[in-house]
Amino acid sequence: MQVSSPISSPIHHDDVRYLLSGAVVRPQLKEFGGNIFTHLPQHGAESAALLIHRSRDHGIPGYVKFREFCTGEKITSFGDLENIVVEPQHLIPILGDLYKSVEDVDLLVLALAEKPVRGSLVGPTLGCMLALQYRKVIRGDNYWFSKINAVSSFSLDQLRAITAGTRMADIICASADTADAAVQPNPFLLADEFESVDLLCF
């Protein structure tokens, strides 16, 4: 089953199981690029363009506001982006043509263009936003069982029982039909991090 199949469609029976099973063994980049919103009139829409459109509809501030909130750094011109983004000599002129002011640049555009923080896949602004969101999730109701001194708190033995030895690979195997697909022990490991595999052969 393709990732684009269940978008805006009801899920029936074991569709989620088949979706997970297919995602384990099939690259999805093309799906997200042009097929994920094929239910729209005429043709599929590019997901990044839709996300930018949605953020404007919701009145999300531009990138510079989030950068200042997360790092304290004020950006007042396109030139200030030179040491922040990847390939500035290529990107900055394009941004200057597309946006009247650096303050108009959408959050998604520059958040994804930031130079990654060492040891991370994302830059400081996106890293800050993800960290804040994860902290709010953990402090919210999703982890109600781990709150200390609450009526809903689990005992240490109960917490160990639900966390010990549970990996994302185990969750995928338990949720999907993986009989025909192998799930590697660490699904978050990037392909270029496998030292023993010569990727030039593929």
Domain parsing of the chain, residue ranges: 44-142
Separation CA 73–CA 28 (nearest Å): 36
Mean pLDDT computed over 3-9:
55
Q: What are phi and psi of 68, to 5 degrees?
A: -65, -40
Positive or negative torsion for Cα 193, 87, 133, 131:
positive
| 34 has a pLDDT exceeding 70 | no
pLDDT computed for residue 198 by the predictor = 65
Separation CA 143–CA 108 (nearest Å): 28
Separation CA 113–CA 48 (nearest Å): 13
pLDDT digits (tens, 9 = 90+) for 89-143: 999 999 999 999 999 999 999 999 999 999 899 999 999 999 999 888 877 776 7
**How buried is residue 18: exposed, middle or buried, by Cβ count under 10 Å (0-12/13-18/19+)?**
middle
- Model pTM score: 0.62
Q: What is the mean pLDDT of the chain?
A: 80
pLDDT digits (tens, 9 = 90+) for 48-81: 888 899 999 999 999 999 999 999 999 999 999 9
Instruction: In the chain, count H helices and then E strands.
Output: 9, 0
